[in-house]
Amino acid sequence: MIETVEHEGKLYPAFQADGNAAQFAISYAKHFCKGRGYDIGCNRIEWSLPGSIPIDLFFGDEHDALNLPENDVDYIFSSHCLEHVENWVAVLEYWDTVLSPGGVLFLYLPDYSQTYWRPWNNRKHLHVFSPEIIRDYMCHKNYKNIFVSGVDLNNSFMIVGEK
């Protein structure tokens, strides 16, 4: 039996309420995120991208999305984090300064298609994204080799670009 949750008359897979969304993107991220890098907003160390430096407010140190331990990293991986930050543009601009030339930005984000994740339904989410918005931002910042997935069964999408 497939477990579901209902929101505003729409059914979604129940696993969407369990956390650890990164599990659906990590197998792809491993192909792009090589070398030294961060998993920002992983929530739990065991949920972080293998080999990454995990960063999350819950870890009790001074590091967060706008205060990373060091610059010139090879990648930044972030899953279901950007919608929680106050100013997502400022965060992405900061991450751009942390990435080495040729570094990879890999984002896994909730899609507008999941009604519960919209900011007016889930007050933990401050923003709602579409692949087009993030792709336009990356193009504006001159990222190259930008790849965008479709919306998956987790009502989320992946986008990766090279600085």
Mean pLDDT, range 40-66, rounded to an integer:
93
pLDDT, position 3 = 95
pLDDT band at residue 155 using 50, 70 and 90 as cut-offs: very high
pLDDT, position 61 = 84
pTM recorded for the entire structure: 0.95
pLDDT band at residue 65 using 50, 70 and 90 as cut-offs: very high
Show me where the domains of the chain are located.
20-162
Average pLDDT, the chain: 96
pLDDT at 107 over 90: yes
pLDDT, position 60 = 81
pLDDT band at residue 28 using 50, 70 and 90 as cut-offs: very high
Q: One-letter amino acid identity for 38?
A: Y
* Distances from the Cα of 78 to the Cα of 1, 2, 62, 151, angstroms: 31, 28, 18, 17
Mean pLDDT, range 26-36, rounded to an integer:
98
Quote the CATH superfamily of domain 20-162: Vaccinia Virus protein VP39 (3.40.50.150)
Per-residue pLDDT reduced to its tens digit, 108-130: 999 999 999 999 999 999 999 99
Q: In whole angstroms, what is the distance from residue 19 CA to residue 5 CA? A: 14
Q: In whole angstroms, what is the distance from residue 143 CA to residue 64 CA? A: 23
* Full DSSP string of the chain: ---EEEETTEEEEGGGGSS-GGGGTHHHHHHH--SSEEEET-SSGGGSPTTSEEE-GGG-SS-BTTB-S-S-EEEEEEES-GGGSS-HHHHHHHHHHHEEEEEEEEEEEEBTT-GGGSTTT-TT----B-HHHHHHHHHHTT-EEEEE----TTSEEEEEEE-
